[in-house]
Structure 1
Amino acid sequence: MKLLLVEDDSDYAATLSRALEAMGHDVVVARDGVAAIEFNDRDQFDAIILDRMLPQMDGTTLVERLRERGQTLPVLMLSALGQSIDKVDGLKAGADDYVVKPTSVGEIDARLHALVRARGWKGEGATTLRAGAILVNPGKHRAWYGDDALDLSNLEFKLLAELTRHAGSFVTRTMLLERVWGYDFEPATNIIEVQIRALRRKLTASGSPDPIVTKRGVGYMLEA
């Protein structure tokens, strides 16, 4: 599995990541919650191992932020806090399991496999689409640009989802007309341009850079 380990104790993080890698996992280490969000925005992971006590953004806040953004990947929370109330708080925040430190790497590995099996998890791409800082959850009809939730019309949402699905490649007008509007002909209107402009306005409303590239005669591309 590809794992994101969020742990500010450098010695513990190094020891645990080496042990997990020896068991066949690919481990990326983030030192705090802010870095964890950045890593998660750039890459796809099968599960997160999350320390509860973190600088800048604690573990419960981090998992709440991930769940608010529609991300459903399994989260195993680690903590030196072993009181029942601490476990309840972690699970209520959205963690799938809670382990009290210290615990063996064998138990952590077994719990991760159990979570993945129980959730039927097949990777983030199974339920969400991502391109850079843009995240689209088609099932929940929700989208985010960074930490900002996007308020999109149905057509704008479908357009963004299609561009995100093919991020890094140009999508032609014909493809958009077929997949977003369901047309098998070229209408005598500029409906695509109108919706692209509307989508751009909402994506950049908070000051974020415009991620849509236009190439005349080719189509549109969402930067990956």
Structure 2
Amino acid sequence: MTTLERPSPLLNMAEKAARIDAICGQARILPVITIAREQDILPLADALAAGGIRTLEVTLRSEHGLKAIEVLREQRPELCIGAGTVLDRRMFAAVEAAGAQFVVTPGITQDLLEAGVESDIPLLPGISTPSEIMMGYALGYRRFKLFPAEISGGVAAIKAFGGPFGDIRFCPTGGVNPGNARDYMALANVMCVGGTWMLDSSWVKNQDWARIQECSAQAMALLD
């Protein structure tokens, strides 16, 4: 194999953490999106973007998740599109092939953590306990999603994690809302928050894109 034929080396874990920091720093809020109808993909993304939310976590909780990632990567290249609710290595490979720019999981397994190490796509693993943090830490992970955040101790838990895990930063998701989002973002070890409050299911069902845009703008203004 010639030099030109050699594959590019994988990003190391520090470089992946830097990518996660850049993605989350730009986003501040990660909307956790489940697509119920294929025709909603573009107008929903456009409504969020018009409200200032341009980094999207598209979950695999519905049959349209992979398609949505593919469509948005192709037709809305100015947005940053990640994949959420990735549960195993097969799903990780599928979202990688679909073009996801980052991957988020609700929890961890050794196999998923290793898949993240072996991929150039940065993985934000979901954790809720110190032991899970330590599993990821052993493989070089320094950025995690706390899920479900409020049930897992919320702001107090993240403050406590800052003691033994001084170089770890979090994206709390699950129970985050306009009433507590600023409390989370005030913590030094929180890089962004995830939520669904700007995506009320009735608004999506009724295609009330203006309402979603308005709520997205309010959500972003909340963190200014």
With normalisation by structure 2, the TM-score equals 0.32
With normalisation by structure 1, the TM-score equals 0.32
Structure (1 or 2) with the greater strand fraction: 1
Higher RCO structure (Cα 8 Å, ≥6 apart): 2
